[in-house]
Amino acid sequence: MQLAAQADRRYSTAAMQSSRRALPNTAAKVEKYRRRYDEIIDAAAAVFAEKGYHGASTKDIADRLGIRQGSLYYYFASKESALEEVCQKGVEGFVQGIENVLARGGGGETQLRAAVLNHLEPLNTRPTYVRVFLRDRHDLPQASRRKIGKASRQYESLLEGLFRAGVERGDFRAGLDCRLATLAMLGMCNAAASWYTEGEGIFLEALAESFATLILSGTTAKNG
Amino acid sequence: MQLAAQADRRYSTAAMQSSRRALPNTAAKVEKYRRRYDEIIDAAAAVFAEKGYHGASTKDIADRLGIRQGSLYYYFASKESALEEVCQKGVEGFVQGIENVLARGGGGETQLRAAVLNHLEPLNTRPTYVRVFLRDRHDLPQASRRKIGKASRQYESLLEGLFRAGVERGDFRAGLDCRLATLAMLGMCNAAASWYTEGEGIFLEALAESFATLILSGTTAKNG
Amino acid sequence: MQLAAQADRRYSTAAMQSSRRALPNTAAKVEKYRRRYDEIIDAAAAVFAEKGYHGASTKDIADRLGIRQGSLYYYFASKESALEEVCQKGVEGFVQGIENVLARGGGGETQLRAAVLNHLEPLNTRPTYVRVFLRDRHDLPQASRRKIGKASRQYESLLEGLFRAGVERGDFRAGLDCRLATLAMLGMCNAAASWYTEGEGIFLEALAESFATLILSGTTAKNG
Amino acid sequence: MQLAAQADRRYSTAAMQSSRRALPNTAAKVEKYRRRYDEIIDAAAAVFAEKGYHGASTKDIADRLGIRQGSLYYYFASKESALEEVCQKGVEGFVQGIENVLARGGGGETQLRAAVLNHLEPLNTRPTYVRVFLRDRHDLPQASRRKIGKASRQYESLLEGLFRAGVERGDFRAGLDCRLATLAMLGMCNAAASWYTEGEGIFLEALAESFATLILSGTTAKNG
DNA sequence: GATGAATGAGATTTCATTCAT
DNA sequence: CATGAATGAAATCTCATTCAT
């Protein structure tokens, strides 16, 4: 249900409207077009993730799809708008996820573990999108950078709230710098985007567990 | 004394030899040239830090210096070699610093605090270099990427050793995943490169202290 | 039939593969593209012949075609690869021609006359290609210089063989330095590339006849 | 005596006047300057011979001399004027040489042998100059191209005269196409510039002898 | 006599984008 | 739906030349 909603939403986004084709007119066509559109954006994400936005050319994207450069413009209006879409998909879900975590309640410790897992999960489900968002969002044009920055800040704010509530509840130590704890957790987890690869050596759930423990208890012996 | 050594070394690096000019032949001229060279590389670092390597043009660098584009090539052989030099200066010092920390001895806690400070300090002394290193080192040509990767790995290895020794000594809890602790600390600290600005709100020493405490004791109340 | 074979072959050469475009997929498109490609290379040959490889700019080539400079790169990957193709077409045919001459048999005199004509004919059919080959082949990158050098040497070797066989048969005087005779003939004929122009004053067949006579009988009166 | 005259002449040529320095004012200085000047032009000739005029850079010349690019301009006014001087030295002597040959008299055969030797000798004494003249004279600016073209044409004309006189005298066969014989001889000899190297395998005198014999008697058996 | 530091014009190449078909 | 052929602007780099010192 949620997926469907998401899919429908896509047809009303700036992304779609900015491509210069007439919208398809039957449900079947719509469906087919959307599938192809997703492939195109997938390819863009993969290429951007590998070479960086400026280091990647539209030809790289086209090559990966086995089509010609110009054909891409049937699906997006510009390279920049493709980045926009990729970054959009990159942030997507983080906010929703943390909101779910907070809604579920539980103690600070439980919530933090869930938050860490929520933050790392996209590294398995849409790693290229996340990487591009993390590395190349600064190359977006002002308008969409702001939109995406807003989502980012909202997410950080919810995370920080999680810490703050934990302190108030006495789950976390008094005097904890919640802003810094948030930034530390984000830094730690985001860094994983550059070295974690699915199925290589470590499971994401174990990774999340380790990170959470570290944040919660630190490294010192007396904490054990 | 150490500074002088470093300066001399600079004239024997590939970086200098890769520029198109013949080396100057008197001490005074050498000194003058080196100063100008440093200005050029500084400008490159600043521009790369702002726009990313691929997003920055050599014209941007020249403009920042008030000279013409082509004149840059009196100082470096290619845009890529400028990136090389910037990244080189970006890693420079990290290894030396951690070695000093380890040499000084002390308990795991003391060493970790020092290590965190050592890692963050360059954000004050040469922020652009560090940022470029962190973001754009992947755009280096193989040869120098390897050279720089080697320094990186050495650094990480020394850090991990710090944790490992701490565990053995009983300073850190048994069973600590030292590799992960290293990566977590690096992620946390490196992320600061993207939001910390000297003199804005927080002092670097305070930041280092907070990070160190977080790593050591975590967030949980019982640790306080 | 042979022409067709040659045309097909062209689509399997490095030259075509080195251009940036994907190969077209229908016979008609292939044909159209090839025609245009030939025009492009023709223009390059003409410009190189006039100004020399280094003296000619890609803009000169584009201007001659009435297109923009960058558009050339739709057809070739680099100026150098255009030179390669031009030189390739410049040597093409010489070996085949001399082989035909030798296959046809006849006395040394007959064969030499035919060989001279074979060598001069390209000055009518593809003069710019030959001139570029003669003057600018040294500017080719190693790889193709070797390939073309091989064809050259094979050609010279066949020519020298013609002389040698003639001496053995008694058609040419004993003690003739066949290597030198070869080089002399080549020098004489190749020089014509710089002053012979079709339709101006002298017919190529007459020129070939005169050269052949000179080589065979020399200038001295008793030979008449 | 003749050398001195030549040297003095040099101080009155356009070449010297075109350099932008004040002329040296004492005999010793003049001598020293002239020696250095010759070295500079020698280097230019060597570099042009190796890479062609357009393929060579002033830096190549400076490097070969161990000086800086800009320093060249103390000796010549422009790269083009250096080419001019090199080409000038390249043609120099041919006319004088053939005039000497003609003045000495003798039969057509004797004269032709001498003429061939005269034409080849510069390949030993100033090979780079000759090669540059042969290959790059077309890159000269109109003015000097004309001047040098005049010398060329005069030389060719004298050579052709040698043949013509030989025919009249009955030394050469009646009906000989003297123009073509001239061009053939020039082509043959000039081609040697691209493969003859002093001291490698063949002596220039032997080469001249072989060429002369070929021109005189051809290859056919009955001529022996 | 030569150098060091630049310039400015031009070279080759790349690349996002367009558009008729 | 996609292609083929181009464009135009910009990017990196080269190089002959200048000139104060």
In this structure, what DSSP letter does residue A70 have? Answer: G
For B216, the closest of A211, A216, A218 (CB atoms) is A218
Give percent of chain A above pLDDT 90: 77
DSSP labels, chain D: -HHHHHHHHHTTSHHHHHS-SPPP-SHHHHHHHHHHHHHHHHHHHHHHHHH-TTT--HHHHHHHHTS-GGGGGGT-S-HHHHHHHHHHHHHTTHHHHHHHHHHH---HHHHHHHHHHHHHTHHHHSHHHHHHHHHHGGGS-HHHHHHHHHHHHHHHHHHHHHHHHHHHHTSB-TT--HHHHHHHHHHHHHHHHHH--TTSSS-HHHHHHHHHHHHHH-SBGGG-
Chain D CB contacts of C190 under 8 Å are 187, 191
- Report the pLDDT value the prediction gives residue A202, as an integer from 0 to 100: 87
Q: What is the pLDDT of residue C207?
A: 96
User: What is the C-alpha separation between C75 and D157, in angstroms, rounded?
Assistant: 46
Contact between residue D212 and residue D113 where contact means Cβ atoms under 8 Å apart: yes
Judged against a pLDDT cut of 70, whether residue D7 lies above it is answered with no
Indicate yes or no: CB of A195 within 8 angstroms of CB of B183. yes
Q: What is the pLDDT of residues A32-86, one digit of tens each?
A: 888 999 999 999 999 999 999 999 999 999 999 999 999 999 999 999 999 999 9
Q: What is the pLDDT of residue A168?
A: 94
- Rounded distance in angstroms from the CA atom of residue D221 to the C1' atom of nucleotide E19: 71
* Contact status, residue A171 vs residue A107, Cβ threshold 8 Å: yes
Q: Which residue of A has its CA nearest to B193?
A: A187
**CATH number of the structural domain B2-80:** 1.10.10.60
Give the CA-to-C1' distance from A202 to E15 in angstroms: 40
How many pairs of residues across C and D have Cβ atoms under 8 Å apart? 137
Burial of A122 (C-beta count, 10 Å sphere; 0-12/13-18/19+)? buried
Which pLDDT does position C224 carry in this prediction?
43
Portion of chain D with pLDDT greater than 70, in percent: 88
Q: Domain locations in chain A? A: 2-80, 81-223
Q: Locate tokens 């906010």: which residue?
A: A95
Stretch A99-125: mean pLDDT, rounded? Answer: 95
What phi and psi, each to the nearest 5 degrees, are found at residue D101? -55, -50
Residue D62 clears pLDDT 70, i.e. is over it: yes
Mean per-residue pLDDT, D151-160: 96
pLDDT at B1: 35
φ, ψ at D220 (rounded to 5°)? -70, 150
Look at residue D63 and tell me whether its pLDDT is greater than 80.
yes
Distance A33 CA to F12 C1' (A): 39
Burial A45-65 (b: 16+ CB within 10 A, else e): bbbbbeebbbbbebebbbebb
Instruction: Give the lowest-confidence range in A10-19, A174-183, B28-37, D6-15.
Output: D6-15
Q: What phi-psi label fits residue D211: left (phi over 0), alpha (psi between -120 and 50 degrees) or beta?
A: alpha
The pLDDT-based confidence of A214 (bands split at 50, 70, 90) is very high
- N-term to C-term CA, chain D: 44
pLDDT recorded at residue B11: 40
Mean pLDDT of B50-74: 97
- CA-CA-CA-CA torsion sign (B58, B63, B64, B67): positive
Q: Identify residue D216 by its one-letter amino acid code.
A: L
| Residue B20 pLDDT grade (very low, low, confident, very high; cuts 50, 70, 90) | low
Picking from D145, D220, D222 by the largest number of C CB atoms within 10 A of its own CB, the best residue to mutate is: D220
Identify the bridge partners of residue C172 per DSSP, sorted by sequence position. D220
Q: So what's the pLDDT on residue C199?
A: 83
Contact C163, C178 (CB under 8 A): yes
Res A8: pLDDT: 40
One-letter amino acid identity for C207?
A: L
> Residue C167 is encoded by which pair of tokens?
């001496």
B172 - beta bridge partners? A220
pLDDT of residue C208: 97
Query: What three-state secondary structure class fits A61?
Result: helix
Give the range among A26-30, A101-105, A184-188, D183-187 with minimum mean pLDDT: A26-30
Whether B9 shows a pLDDT value over 80: the answer reads: no
Using a CB-CB cut-off of 8 Å, the residues of chain A touching B131 are: none
Q: If contacts are CB pairs under 8 Å, which of residues 199-218 in chain B contact chain A?
A: 207, 210-211, 214-218
The answer to whether the CB atoms of D220 and C219 lie below 8 A apart is no
Q: What angle do CA A197, A198, A204 make, to 5 degrees?
A: 100
Q: For the residues of A14-34, what is the DSSP string, one character each?
A: HHHHHS-SPPP-SHHHHHHHH
Q: Which CATH class is domain A81-223?
A: mainly alpha
Which one of C190, C216, C221 has the shortest CB-CB distance to D218?
C216
In the predicted structure, residue A222 carries a pLDDT above the cut 80: no
pLDDT at position A71 is 93
Instruction: Flag if B173 and A220 touch (Cβ within 8 Å).
Output: yes
Do C and B make contact via 3 or more CB pairs under 8 A? The reply is no
pLDDT at D23: 58
pLDDT in tens, C10-25: 344 445 545 555 555 6
Q: What is the pLDDT of residue A181?
A: 96
pLDDT of residue A10: 40
Average the pLDDT over B30-51 and give the result: 96
Residues of chain C with pLDDT under 70: 1-25, 222-224
Task: Return the minimum-mean-pLDDT range out of B97-101, B218-222, D128-132, D191-195.
Answer: B218-222
User: What confidence tier does B130 reach under pLDDT thresholds 50, 70, 90?
Assistant: very high
